[in-house]
Amino acid sequence: MSLPLDRLPPAVLEAARHAPAPLALVGGALRDLLLSPSCSIRDLDFVVLEGHAEPVARWFARRLSGTFVPLSPEHQEYRVVTREGLQVDVTGRRGPTLREDLKRRDFTWNSMAWDLQQHRLVDPWGGRRDLALRRIRTLRRANFREDPLRILRGFRMMARFGGWMEPRTLQWLLQEREGLRSVAGERIREELLQLAAGAHADRALYELVQTGVLFLLFPDLQELPTIPEVDVLEHTLNALRFLVEDLNHPHRSPLAPWWDPWFLVSGRPPLRPLLVLGLLLHDIAKPRTYTKDTRGIHFYEHEKRGAERAETLLLGLRFSRQEVQTVVRLVRLHMYPHLLAHSTDRTPRAVARYLRKTGDLAFPLLLMAIEDARASPHVNGGIGNHLALLQELIQLQERAASTPQRILTGNDLIALGYPPGPLFRTILEEVAARHLAGELRTPEEARAWVLKRYPLPARS
C-alpha cells in the first residue's frame, strides 16, 4: 500500500528522511492519514528504530529552527515545537523490537507504524482492521496501568471517531479505572477538552457514566439520580444528545431557520467543548438544593451553587482561568434565558438587557436552554417560547449592528452634575438597554431621561 506522505509538513518530512537514524511514523498522524488521506497534519510522532532519540530530536530542532523540549529523558521522550505551530515528538524504541514497542502503545489504532526507510506499513496487531471497524482495543491490561490517562483517551477516541469499546478492553478499563485519580489535572483537562469537542461527545459521555469513570472526575454527578421525582443525570445526558446533534447537523435542527447567529458556537471551536461541559454541569447542585413542599419540588439557587462547584472542580483539573470563567458563567446564567422566554410581559428593553449582560454568551446560553427544555418536554410546554425569544434576539442584534455603541458616558454624567460612584454603572447600563431597545435614540433624550429618573439633589 501507499501512504499520502505529501500531506505531512514538507520540512518535517524532509528532515525525517535525512535524520541521523532510521525512523518510523507512528501515532495519531499515521492513524489520521489512514482514515482521511486529505487531512492536514500538524502534530507528528516518530520512533527511532536504532540508537538514542535525543540526537534525532536535536536534529529536528536544528532543521526546523524549533525549540527542543526534553519531556522525559529517562524514557527517551523529546519534543520539538516550531514557530509555525508544528509539534514533532521523538521517542526511543521501547522493547527489543518495533513489534514489541507497538504492543505497548495505548490502543491498536496507534499500534501501527510507517517505516520511512522501507516505505511500508508495519501492523502486527491488526490496528488497521480495528480502525476500519471503529473497534477500540488495547493489547494488554498493563497499558492502562502504565498510564491511566489512556482510560480517558479511549473515550476521547470514541468522541472523535465514534466506535465501540472491545469487551476485554472494557473489562481491563473497569479494573484499572481508579488509577485515573493519580493523573495530573493538566493532562485530564486536555483529554476532556478534546472529548467534549468531538462529534460523538454525547455517546462518549454516556459511556463514561455507564463505566463510572466520569464520577472520578466530577463526583457530584453521581448524586444526580438520587432525586426521587426526576433522574437529573438522564435528563442531562438527553440534553447533551440534543446539543451535539444540533451542532453536528444544524440544518436538521428545530433551530435551522435561525441558525446564522450561532456562529458564536459553531464557528469558534474553543467554545464548543466549553458549552458541552457547561451543559454537563448545569444542574450539578440540584441534589444539594432539593426541597419539597405543598407546591412541589424546588431547587432554589441551584445555578449559583452549581457555578461555585463547577469552578472548584475545573480549577482542580487545571483548566485555564478563561475556560473556567466561561463554564461558570454558562452554569450561573443558565436559568436566565428560561425565565426570559417564559416571561408574560417581556419587553424589548428586557431582551436588550439580557443581550448586554450575557455578551458573547447570549446565543450559546439560549441554545443551552433550548436543549435543556427539549430534554424536559413535559415542563413549561416545550421550546416555542424560546424560539420566539431567539427571533427577538436576532432582530435586536441586527439593530445593534447599525446603532452607535453609546449615547451617554461617565463624562456626560459628571457634566450633568452627578458625582462619580457606583450609581454610574447602573445608569449607563440602563441607558444602554433602553438605547438598544429603541426607547432612547439620541444623547439629548438620554440626558433628559437620566435627569428625570435620577433627579439631582437640590443645591443648598
DSSP for 310-354, written as a single string: HHHHHHHTT--HHHHHHHHHHHHTTTHHHHHHT-TT--HHHHHHH
* pLDDT (average), residues 46-71: 96
Domain match, 125 and 191 both:
no
Q: Are 265 and 272 in contact (CB under 8 A)?
A: yes
Question: What would the pLDDT profile of 401-433 be if each residue is shown by its tens digit?
Answer: 666 678 888 888 888 888 888 888 888 888 888
Asked whether the beta carbons of 436 and 428 are under 8 A apart, the reply is: no
| The pLDDT of residue 58 | 97
Share of the chain above pLDDT 70, in %: 95
In a domain, 459, yes or no: no
Domain closes at, from 117, 133, 149: 133
CB 80 within 8 A of CB 66: yes
145 assigned to some structural domain = yes
Cα angle: 273, vertex 279, 284; to 5 degrees: 125
Question: In this structure, are strands 43-48 and 87-92 parallel, antiparallel, or unpaired?
Answer: parallel
Q: What confidence category does residue 308 fall into, taking pLDDT thresholds of 50, 70 and 90?
A: very high
Label residue 267 by pLDDT band (50, 70, 90): very low
- CATH code for the domain in which residue 161 is found: 1.10.110.30
Q: Do both 249 and 292 map to the same domain?
A: yes
Res. 271: pLDDT tops 60:
yes
> Is the same domain home to 346 and 256?
yes
| Overall average pLDDT of the 77-81 stretch | 96
Q: What is the per-residue pLDDT for 402?
A: 65
pLDDT at 266 over 80: no
Q: Which of 48-52, 150-154, 438-442 has the lowest mean pLDDT?
A: 438-442
Over range 279-301, report the average pLDDT. 93
Rounded mean pLDDT of 49-60?
Answer: 96
**Is the domain of 370 the same as that of 421?**
no
Q: Give the pLDDT band of residue 81 (cuts 50, 70, 90).
A: very high
Residue 415 maps to a domain: yes
DSSP string, 228-288: SS--HHHHHHHHHHHHHHHHH-GGGSTTGGG-GGGHHHHT-TTHHHHHHHHHHHTTTTHHH
> CATH no. for residue 87?
3.30.460.10
CA–CA distance, 443 with 441 (Å, rounded to integer): 7
Q: How far apart are CA 355 and CA 396, in angstroms?
A: 9
Report the pLDDT value the prediction gives residue 379, as an integer from 0 to 100.
Answer: 67
Does 339 map to a domain?
yes
What integer is the mean pLDDT of 72-89? 94
458: in domain: no
User: Does residue 308 sit in the same domain as residue 389?
Assistant: yes
All three cell numbers of 191, joined, read 483529554
What confidence tens digit (pLDDT) does each residue in 197-232 have?
A: 999 999 999 999 999 999 999 999 999 999 988 899
In a domain, 397, yes or no: yes
Looking at residue 459, what DSSP letter applies? P
- Domain boundary pick from 156, 184, 207: 207
Note the pLDDT tens digit of each residue in 124-157: 999 999 999 999 999 999 999 999 999 999 999 9
Mean pLDDT on 307-323: 96
Q: From CA 157, how far away is CA 28, in angstroms rounded?
A: 10
**Residue 324: inside a domain:** yes
Number of neighbouring beta carbons within 10 Å of residue 174:
14
Mean confidence (pLDDT) of the chain: 91
Q: Are residues 297 and 282 in the same domain?
A: yes
Range of the domain at 152: 134-207
Q: 279 and 371 in contact (C-beta within 8 Å)?
A: yes
Same domain, 366 and 247: yes
The answer on 446 and 328 residing in a single domain is no
Closest by Cα among 64, 12, 5 to 32: 5
Q: What is the pLDDT of residues 364-409, one digit of tens each?
A: 999 999 999 999 877 667 899 999 999 898 888 777 666 667 888 8
Q: Are 66 and 177 contained in the same domain? A: no
Number of domains in the chain: 4
Top-confidence residue, 459 or 99? 99
- Is residue 52 located within the same domain as residue 86? yes
What's the pLDDT score for residue 433? 80
> Which of the 8 DSSP states describes residue 300?
T
Residues 12 and 86 both lie in one domain: yes
**Final residue belonging to a domain, choices 133, 154, 169:** 133
Is 460 domain-assigned? Answer: no
Enter the pTM of the model. 0.86
Per-residue pLDDT band for 282 (boundaries 50, 70, 90) equals very high
- Rounded to an integer, what distance in angstroms lies between the CA atom of residue 48 and that of residue 397? 56
Residues 182 and 238 placed together within one structural domain of the fold? no
